[in-house]
A and B are shown apart, each in its own frame.
Chain A
Amino acid sequence: MLNQWLYIGIFFIIAMFLPAVAIFLARLLSPKKPTKIKNSVYECGMETFDPTWIQFKIQYYLYGLIFLIFDVEIVFLFPFAVAYGNLALFAVVEAIIFILILLGGYLYVWRKDALTWQ
Chain B
Amino acid sequence: MIDAALIWEWIIKSLILIIFLTVGFMYVTVYERRFLARIQSRIGPNRAGPFGLLQPAADGLKLIFKEELIPANADKFIFLLAPIITVIPALIVLAVIPWGEAMVIFGRQVNLFISDVNVAVVYIMAVTSISVYGITLAGWSSNNKYALLGGLRATAQMISYELALGLAFMGPVVLAGSLSMVDIVRAQQSSLWYVVLQPAAFLIYFFASIAEINRAPFDMPEAEQELTAGYHAEYSGMKFALFFMAEYIKMIAISTIGATLFFGGFDGPFVDQIPWLGPIYLLAKVVIYLGVLIWVRASWPRIRYDRLMQLGWKIMFPLALLNVIITAVVVVLVN
Contact = CB atoms under 8 A, between A and B. Distances in A.
Contacts of A34: 69
Contacts of A53: 140, 143, 148
Contacts of B140: 53
A115 to B, nearest CB: 4
Interface in A56-92: 56-57, 60, 63-64, 66-67, 70-71, 74-75, 77-78, 81-85, 92
B107 to A, nearest CB: 21
B64 A29 contact: yes
A108 interface: no
B88 interface: yes
Bin the interface of chain A by size. 35 or more
A78 B234 contact: no
Nearest to A26: B238
Given A7-B115, A71-B162, A84-B174, A26 B156 contact: no
A99 B73 CA distance: 47
A39 B71 contact: yes
A70 B146 CA distance: 30
Interface centre among A6, A18, A27, A60 (most CB of B within 10 A): A18
Contact of B144 (A41, A63, A71): A41
Nearest to A116: B310
Given A7-B115, A11-B17, A74-B167, A41 B234 contact: yes
Interface in A10-39: 10-12, 14-20, 22-23, 25-27, 29-34, 36, 38-39
Contacts of B118: 1
Contact of A60 (B95, B155, B314): B155
A82 B228 CA distance: 45
B144 A30 contact: no
A5 B120 CA distance: 11
A116 B117 contact: no
Contacts, number: 199
B298 interface: no
Nearest to A56: B152
Contacts of B177: 82-85
Contact of B314 (A99, A103, A110): A110
Contact of A4 (B73, B116, B228): B116
A81 B230 CA distance: 38
A59 to B, nearest CB: 8
A14 B159 CA distance: 28
Interface string A92-105: 10011001000100
B261 interface: no
A89 to B, nearest CB: 9
A73 to B, nearest CB: 9
Contacts of A17: 18
Contacts of A30: 64-68, 237-238
B143 A60 contact: no
A103 B317 CA distance: 11
Contacts of A29: 64-65
B88 A8 contact: no
Contact of B179 (A42, A64, A78): A78
Contacts of A82: 173, 177-179
Contact of A11 (B92, B156, B324): B92
A45 to B, nearest CB: 11
Interface of A: 1, 3-8, 10-12, 14-20, 22-23, 25-27, 29-34, 36, 38-44, 48, 52-53, 56-57, 60, 63-64, 66-67, 70-71, 74-75, 77-78, 81-85, 92, 95-96, 99, 103, 106, 110, 115-118
Given A30-B238, A78-B179, 10 more contacts: A5-B115, A30-B237, A41-B71, A41-B72, A44-B228, A64-B156, A74-B166, A99-B321, A117-B305, A117-B310
16 contacts: A5-B117, A8-B114, A12-B88, A15-B18, A16-B88, A19-B88, A22-B241, A25-B238, A26-B63, A38-B69, A39-B69, A39-B71, A42-B228, A63-B159, A106-B318, A116-B309
